[in-house]
Amino acid sequence: MSNENKTIHDFDFSLICDFFSNMERQGPGSPDVTLKALSFIDNLTETSLIADIGCGTGGQTMTLAKHVHGKITALDLFPDFIDILNRNAEHLGVQNRVKGIVASMINELPFEEESLDLIWSEGAIYNIGFERGLKEWRKYLKTGGYIAVSESSWFTDERPTEINDFWVDAYSEIDTIPNQIAKIHKAGYLPVATFVFPETCWTENYFAPKLTATKIFLNSHTGNKMAEELAASQSHEEVLYRKYKEFYGYTFFIAKKVERNSFNN
């Protein structure tokens, strides 16, 4: 495997954290996209309990906090990300209802069953797997509660070998949007809305800030071969996107938990 073809999973956690801690978002997205997804969710109040799973440094968490008055618990595996998130919450003056905690989504989540009104996860559910995350997180939602996740999707049934092999190696669960909606339904949710991220979420809000982050990262790791390989892999991701963007991207899925007995399957 060449250096540029390595995926994020091939690198040390501490290096990954150091690289992405210099970015407001750790994946494609935008405040507008977060708010568009939020617009499909109703009945949120000051007493609503919200979980942002795989929150990163909390770019989307802060957007949610500005527009929702409930309490948000944001969790991520990287302590440095959580430190940044909690500092940003204090800066915004929302620390009384936004709390970042260090936790793994792979394990039992620190919530009571049927306690959450909303589960949010932007670009992070792949860490546990789309189907597994949908199934395991469902028990924490109240009936009628919402889940909103963004996930990588194929836009076509067939695609060039280069991009197909890259994604299958990086995340074998990537699938077409109709198949992903079917998985949401099978997991016990009513699909409410689905939309594809605009290209600017990648180019302006992810790749452009990543150039600056890469410079900072390489300057602080001069001569570190693994750091250079990580930077190269991130650059290669942009090359592939610009070449094959008509075949894949990120999709936001919003769904509501329903009673199992309302399903025929």
pLDDT digits (tens, 9 = 90+) for 38-52: 999 998 999 999 999
Quickly count: other Cβ atoms within 10 Å of residue 235's Cβ: 14
pLDDT for residue 87 is more than 90: yes
Share of the chain above pLDDT 90, in %: 83
Residue in 24, 31, 7 with CA at minimum distance from that of residue 197: 31
* pLDDT at 3 (0 to 100): 44
Place 12 in a pLDDT band, splitting at 50, 70 and 90. confident
Q: Where are the domains of the chain?
A: 8-257
Would you say domain 8-257 falls under CATH 3.40.640.10? no
Dist CA 230 CA 232 (whole Å): 5
Q: Supply the pTM of this predicted model.
A: 0.91
Contact between 14 and 78 (Cβ < 8 Å): no
pLDDT for residue 265 is more than 50: no
